[in-house]
Structure 1
């Protein structure tokens, strides 16, 4: 069984895929997706999954294998990774985890609280309830429903508020209660780990984000959004909230111009990259920080 793992984290458009492929050439390696949007099928372009040329250069797993109608969780991802490591992963000398979802990396290294599964109908009801609320209203609602989690959340963003309230509704216990339970052991326990955060200069990253979204538009992002909207999915699903999907959907409905959709998508990507950097700075202080473009 492989006993070495390379973990490559970083904000969107920072060059993670290129580094993973480059490092995979050193020895027989398996690249494992560690990004919560790249797990979904249909969103090949919008989620910036490795393209056909990149996929041909190394073995890649756990990309685009989850139907977009699914509300995929960190726990489900971790279970799939564990099965992969114990199965096919044993045939490789090194495992390379690459992506931008900090919580996936945290669960991978530190284990994950065993929170009971929440029924899909509960999640949908809660998301519909908070969808029209602004940040202040979400904060007030969370304080009413789950005061313990209201104290823990620094920013009442819709996804985290929905998660906290859904768990409370389904289990009658605060998400804080479950988070305070002992974690399951890390599934990489015993592995020799190399942990890297890609940290390109801010202005360069902004330029890369804008350029990449332009290339996405040329590569079929509009057609991809047409395909996923044709499925008639619940707009609160994670796949339907992927950056670019709401904006291009608005263009397709005639609610904004193509230039407006492109600009709003780029701005949303900048904001997402900023949140990723903040998470990494707070939680990955012992990782090796690298400017891949220096």
Structure 2
């Protein structure tokens, strides 16, 4: 297998919403003459600057930012589309002698940037349903044992409780005759390879959830409700990504008269905490080469990360 060409250095700063990753990245970009490249699937849209916590004017004045607010809410932004744009911005940063610092909480975007997307053909529905039915019939442990005969690597790597990924691995090899790992390696061969240093900021959960709650109230005070009112007035299709952004469904219900403001805030805070929990779990398991920072953002943490980057570079 021919690997993608190594194209330069890259810093990744990832973590759940409200974890402090943007503030950490801003300190790094100042220290290392970098360019911040957004890896948040909702911050790519210009419609919801407040509700998606896009960089404010002070942050934009302090450092170069790319891929923030570049798309209209009526557009679709897939992981593949974002990765193509991000690679272009990384190349621009390298050409200018700047260190690209990719920052965000959309794990699929980050994984796609680093490894590509496996070009798996669409799986026939009868095979998908048969895989799901088999899993339901025999349970996770026995299903994992059956998968081991078809895809030993996936069976060894995936826990018995990860039903979604077990079924996915099973249906892919049944439908294509190739393992998902084979498809993924094919994708990785065609994408640029970066010399990357990856940091994931995972504060204690209670502190993270408190930050989520406080930030949402701050968003309301900063005009998030007006943003959603303007978005709703566009009558965009409900299946568009922007219409599913955390906080949009709850605020839209309030605007329609279905919830009072306090109930709306409570519901949106819960949705935000749930989202943060999913991100927390994903980053624990999926960004294998990352260094986990199990603490809240502080001056000492910033100094430690800066020193690690100095030692690395």
Matched, 1:106 2:111: yes
Deviation at 1:3, TM superposition (A): 2.5
Matched, 1:242 2:229: no
Summarize the Cα distance change of 1:105–1:144 in structure 2 as closer, same or farther, 3 Å threshold: same
SS in 2 for 1:183: helix
Normalised by the size of structure 1, how large is the TM-score? Answer: 0.78
Q: How many residues align?
A: 254
Runs (5+) with no aligned partner, structure 2: 1-5, 136-157, 299-313
Query: Corresponding residue for 1:232?
Result: 235
Summarize the Cα distance change of 1:91–1:225 in structure 2 as closer, same or farther, 3 Å threshold: same
Deviation at 1:89, TM superposition (A): 4.4
Give distance in 2, aligned partners of 1:35 and 1:289. 19
**Counterparts in 2 of 1:76-95, with a 5 A limit?**
76-95=81-100
1:222 to 221, 225, 250: 225
**Counterparts in 2 of 1:1-294, with a 5 A limit?**
3-114=8-119, 146-147=128-129, 150=132, 154=162, 180-181=182-183, 182-185=186-189, 187-189=191-193, 191-290=194-293, 291-293=295-297
Q: Deviations over 1:142-172 (max 9, x none)?
A: 975723774699577xxxxxxx9xxx9xxxx
Q: Deviations over 1:110-166 (max 9, x none)?
A: 2222468x9xxxxxxxxxxxxxxxxxxxxxxx975723774699577xxxxxxx9xx
Summarize the Cα distance change of 1:144–1:87 in structure 2 as closer, same or farther, 3 Å threshold: same
SS in 2 for 1:30: strand
Q: Is the 8 A contact 2:35 2:99 kept in 1?
A: yes
Query: Corresponding residue for 1:138?
Result: none
Deviation at 1:26, TM superposition (A): 1.3
Summarize the Cα distance change of 1:68–1:178 in structure 2 as closer, same or farther, 3 Å threshold: farther
Summarize the Cα distance change of 1:227–1:289 in structure 2 as closer, same or farther, 3 Å threshold: same
Runs (5+) with no aligned partner, structure 1: 119-141, 157-163
Give distance in 2, aligned partners of 1:148 and 1:188. 37
